[in-house]
């Protein structure tokens, strides 16, 4: 396995009629999320980072923001034949557990039955980097990354380990926010954008729909899916199902950080991977089967299902600390996509 690390430098009748209007507004208004958020206590339920691309996530109580999003999120990855390796062809990667040493200077990768792999998590000094260990173009889905070899210890355990330098977020996402400055937001090793957000209300509705699908098909009921299938960085509570679909700008109130919403998240088969059944991780076609019935979309990459939104922060929020429990205020709604053609309303 090859693990990649980034360079840290490099949010009466009249009364009856009023109540009726209020309920309709509260449940159905998707055009003014700022007003809706006044009635919903929207909070950050979880913050999750995924230090190694396609491996397990780490839940945090708070996390610092960097120019690439959350600190230490997708700063390492496994590469093979000059291309990144994901859990789609190698679902066993979902069982690799990353942790950091108490001082934050070491990244420890653990897997049952294997010796721990310990890597340095300290910032790299560009002046001390060995040019022969720099991979100039490692292929991602529709982009490339410049990465740095972690050295012999990582290679002996799992081939090559590398560190990311810098690239831009996906072009169509940058265009959605600021078409005149496509290089405004930098990205690490996430496929598309810096931060992915999802509301717990959306997960709950998907689970309800899955249960209904299984019942209609006389299938055995299964445990509800959690955020782990969808791999968000920010999980929110207090949102109605897919309320986040309409947001363009929102703020985490305590940390006073404004997040730009760049686009929707078009899902791939990775959401099918069951990390508790790695011997047969694709034994079930949920949640994609059910999502295709009410969240389908098309794009240049083919058919997708939309779950979650991608966000990015401006440089002025670098070093701010975002914490679990913070309330969220929606500043602007009306998100549209020039990339995805939604097949639902």
Separation between Cα atoms, residue 289 and residue 278, nearest integer Å? 20
Residues 6+ apart with CB under 8 A from 132: none
Does the pTM of the predicted model rise above 0.75? yes
Separation between Cα atoms, residue 248 and residue 330, nearest integer Å? 8
Does 10 or 246 have the greater pLDDT score?
A: 246
Separation between Cα atoms, residue 280 and residue 326, nearest integer Å? 39
Three-class SS of 260-304: EEEEEEECCHHHHCCCCCCCCCCCCCCCHHHHHHHCEEEECCEEE
Q: Domain locations in the chain?
A: 33-342
Separation between Cα atoms, residue 58 and residue 35, nearest integer Å? 33
Tell me the per-residue pLDDT of 275-289, one tens digit each, with 9 for 90 and over: 887 667 777 899 999
Mean pLDDT over 111-132 rounds to 84
Do residues 163 and 6 lie in contact, with contact meaning Cβ atoms separated by under 8 Å?
Answer: yes
Helical ranges in 77-199 per DSSP H:
152-158, 171-177
Tell me the per-residue pLDDT of 324-339, one tens digit each, with 9 for 90 and over: 999 999 999 999 999 9
Tell me the per-residue pLDDT of 140-157, one tens digit each, with 9 for 90 and over: 766 777 777 776 655 544
Residues 6+ apart with CB under 8 A from 247: 33, 261, 309, 330, 332, 333, 335
Mean pLDDT over 72-76 rounds to 92
pLDDT at position 35, please? 44
Tell me the per-residue pLDDT of 234-271, one tens digit each, with 9 for 90 and over: 999 999 999 999 999 999 999 999 999 999 999 999 99
Tell me the per-residue pLDDT of 16-69, one tens digit each, with 9 for 90 and over: 333 343 334 334 444 444 444 445 699 999 999 999 999 999 999 999 999 999
Residues 6+ apart with CB under 8 A from 230: 198, 203, 267, 271, 307, 308
pLDDT at position 123, please? 81
| 199 φ/ψ angles, rounded to the nearest 5 degrees | -90, 140
Give 4's DSSP letter: B
Strand 234-237, strand 195-199: pairing? parallel
Helical ranges in the chain per DSSP H:
13-28, 33-39, 152-158, 171-177, 200-216, 288-294
Residue written as tokens 């173009």?
137
Tell me the per-residue pLDDT of 203-221, one tens digit each, with 9 for 90 and over: 999 999 999 999 999 999 9
Superfamily of structural domain 33-342: PK beta-barrel domain-like (2.40.33.20)
The strands making up 69-70's β-sheet, listed across from edge to edge, are 69-70, 62-66, 321-323
Enter the tokens of residue 22: 């209020």
Cis, bond preceding 287 (omega within 30 deg of 0) = yes
HSE at residue 105, side-chain half, CA atoms within 13 A, is 1
Residue written as tokens 């998590």?
121
Enter the tokens of residue 58: 């780490």
Strand partners, 186: 168
Residues 6+ apart with CB under 8 A from 45: 200, 235, 236, 237, 324
Which helix (DSSP H) or strand (DSSP E) does residue 196 occupy? strand 195-199
Residue written as tokens 């109605």?
240
pLDDT at position 259, please? 98
Please give the share of the chain, as a percent, with pLDDT higher than 90.
58
pLDDT at position 142, please? 65
Strand partners, 258: 251
Q: Is the pLDDT of residue 138 over 50?
A: yes
First and final CA of the chain: distance in angstroms? 43
Give 37's DSSP letter: H
Separation between Cα atoms, residue 52 and residue 139, nearest integer Å? 16
């Amino acid at each position: 396995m090859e693990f990649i690390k980034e360079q840290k430098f490099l949010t009466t009748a009249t009364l009856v009629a009023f109540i009726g209007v209020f309920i309709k507004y509260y449940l159905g208004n998707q055009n003014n999320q700022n007003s809706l958020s006044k009635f919903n206590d929207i909070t950050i339920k979880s913050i999750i980072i995924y230090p190694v691309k396609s491996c397990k996530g780490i839940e945090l109580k708070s996390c610092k923001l960097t120019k690439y999003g959350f600190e230490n999120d997708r700063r390492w990855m496994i590469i093979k034949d000059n291309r990144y390796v994901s859990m789609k062809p190698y679902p066993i990667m979902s069982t690799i557990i990353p942790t950091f040493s108490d001082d934050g200077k070491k990244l420890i990768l653990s897997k049952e039955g294997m010796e721990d792999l310990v890597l340095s998590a300290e910032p790299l000094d560009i002046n001390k980097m060995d040019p022969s260990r720099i991979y100039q173009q490692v292929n991602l889905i529709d982009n490339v990354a410049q990465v740095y070899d972690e050295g012999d210890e990582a290679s002996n355990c799992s081939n090559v380990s590398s560190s990311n330098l810098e690239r831009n977020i996906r072009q169509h996402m940058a265009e959605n926010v600021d078409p005149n400055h496509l290089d405004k937001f930098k990205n690490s090793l996430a496929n598309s954008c810096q931060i992915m957000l999802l509301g717990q209300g959306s997960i709950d509705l998907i689970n309800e729909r899955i249960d209904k699908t299984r019942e209609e098909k006389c299938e055995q009921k299964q445990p509800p899916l959690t955020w782990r299938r969808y791999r968000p960085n920010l999980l929110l509570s207090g949102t109605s199902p897919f309320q986040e679909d309409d947001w363009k700008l929102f703020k985490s109130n305590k940390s006073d950080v404004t997040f730009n919403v760049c686009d929707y998240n078009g899902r791939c088969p990775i959401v099918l991977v069951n990390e508790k059944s790695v011997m047969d991780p694709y034994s079930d076609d949920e949640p994609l089967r059910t999502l295709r019935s009410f969240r389908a979309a098309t794009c240049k990459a083919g058919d997708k299902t939309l779950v979650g939104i991608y966000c990015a922060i401006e440089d002025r929020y670098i070093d701010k600390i975002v914490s679990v429990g913070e309330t969220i205020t929606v500043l602007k709604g009306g998100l549209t996509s020039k990339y995805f053609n939604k097949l639902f309303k």
